[in-house]
Amino acid sequence: MHPRLYLVTPPTFDLDEFEGQLKQALEGGDIASLLITMPDANEGELQAAAKRLVPLAQAKEVAVLIENNTQIMGRSGADGLHVSGSDATLEDIMQSFPEDRIIGHAGVKTRHDAMVVASMGVDYMFFGLLSLKQEEEPHRKSLDFGSWWSEVFETPCVVLAGTSVSSVDTAAQTGAEFVAVREAVWNHPEGPKVAVEQANAILSTHNLAEVED
């Protein structure tokens, strides 16, 4: 087994234009997940995006996650929720969260915080802050978190790559089960399909450690 791609939408986008970009990306090969994150959008804009993008990705067997909005997750038929915030926020959500949906968390600042969040039963940990300006290579702290986590814990983790496709290799070296990509795909000079093809070629060279029973 090798790490898989976790696509992240741009923070802002024109829905008609982005729908075309996503279709191209989905033609590029294996994609595990798509995170719809629109931090500056209102609820109506997020709902409109989810209504169009969720079925498009799911038709290619891609799990779709909505950031911080359980109602739109439910109404759109998305596969799960991505919580970026405090562990208290996560705890409140998990009290009534459907068991058949995926829930992941991003935003921990310390190893202790990460362990507290994982103990709540999340399906994955996301290391990397999407709100920060991304560089060509992943942020050092994201890599450190991913390397530590993948060696010690069974809960899967996602490490955010940088803006270059080559940075997928750096992120995969942590042993993370998933590598998140954003600008590296949507801003690729040859288009999203080529970017996904190149990223998957890199991921295929990394073998995940087998978990012992």
pLDDT digits 0-9 by tens, 125-151:
999 999 988 899 999 999 999 999 999
pLDDT at 26 over 70: yes
pLDDT at 212: 42
pTM: 0.95
pLDDT at 182 over 60: yes
Query: pLDDT of 73-112, one tens digit each?
Result: 999 999 999 999 888 889 899 989 999 999 999 999 999 9
125, amino acid identity: M
Closest by CA to 144, choosing from 174, 117, 170, is 174
DSSP 3-state of 161: coil
pLDDT confidence bin for 196, thresholds 50/70/90: very high
Query: What would the mean pLDDT of 194-205 be, rounded to a whole number?
Result: 98
- Give, in degrees to the nearest 5, the angle at Cα 128 between 122 and 134: 155
For the chain, percent of residues with pLDDT exceeding 90: 92
Query: What would the mean pLDDT of 116-120 be, rounded to a whole number?
Result: 92
End-to-end CA distance of the chain: 16
Average per-residue pLDDT in the chain? 95
For the chain, percent of residues with pLDDT exceeding 70: 98
pLDDT at 210: 65
pLDDT at 133: 87
DSSP 3-state of 164: coil
